[in-house]
Amino acid sequence: MPGYKSLPEEFNGLAAEQVRIAEVLQRIGARDDAASLLEAALDVCAAASPELPGWLCGRLASVYRTLKRHDDEVRLLLRYRDSQRTDEARTRFDARLSKARAIAERKNRTETRMLTSVSAAVSRRPADPSGTPLMSHEALRLNATTIPILRDAMADASQGGDSMRLDTLLLRLCDECRALDAPPEQLVAALKYAWRTATRPTQVNDATWKGVYRGALTRSLALYFNDAIE
């Protein structure tokens, strides 16, 4: 599937900044995080207007394709189509939608045929409760206090606490990564490690907790690339 050029500078606002950060994440291979940011950007746009922007939906559909989230790609393109007012806009992604449907249907048929044999094999394997492996604290090479206080700051921010404290710690994280001559992948890994090993406050729901991570990810990468979002 052809890639996209960087978002033109004439696009501005929170959604556009999230798209630009997502493009950075795609370049470093953090596609799951890129998808999360693009989904957040789509929420921003949907709240402002029922007519979804093609420049955003096309990018998110492309990421879904690379992640093999074909059903999500189909749902997104149908949602885009239904939101448009003109025939020209509605049919913009019809070819992509047709291909996404074909891929999704083929994948679902394959999974159905394999279900019996795979289920038998999986039942003999121990479950892995850890999910995607995280880089160890030692491998991150950060100051020993950075991750613990970052965890506390994210928990505090999720409850409406002092956001300036979290911003200060994100800047500290960026400075440490630069001092280590670490690539942006390590910054993302460190932030993900802190978030996933933090204890979510009991009164904070899953959506809010994920929102804290998305916001911190956007802010930290913006700081890392000296392009702070106002």
Q: Can you give the residue ranges of every domain in the chain?
A: 14-121, 137-224
C-alpha dihedral sign at 205, 209, 210, 211: positive
Q: What is the chain's length?
A: 230
Could you tell me the two tokens for 71? 């059903």
Strands (E) in the chain, as ranges, are: none
> In this predicted model, what pLDDT tens digit does every residue of 86-142 receive, in sequence order?
999 999 999 999 999 999 888 877 766 655 444 444 344 444 433 455 667 677 788
Token pair belonging to 61: 């559909």
Cα 113 to Cα 110: distance, rounded to the nearest angstrom = 5
Q: Mapping DSSP to helix (H, G, I), strand (E, B) and coil, where does residue 68 land?
A: coil
Q: What is the pLDDT of residues 143-202, one digit of tens each?
A: 889 999 999 999 999 998 878 899 999 999 999 988 988 888 888 888 989 999 999 999
Show Cβ contacts of residue 198 under 8 Å, excluding neighbours closer than 6 positions: 151, 152, 154, 155
Backbone angles phi, psi at 69, to 5 degrees: -95, 65
14-121 homologous superfamily:
Tetratricopeptide repeat domain (1.25.40.10)
**Where does the pLDDT of residue 203 fall: very low under 50, low under 70, confident under 90, or very high at 90 and above?**
very high
pTM: 0.64
d(CA 86, CA 65): 26
DSSP secondary structure, 125-184, as one string: S---TT-S----HHHHT--TTHHHHHHHHHHHHHTT--HHHHHHHHHHHHHHHHHTT--H
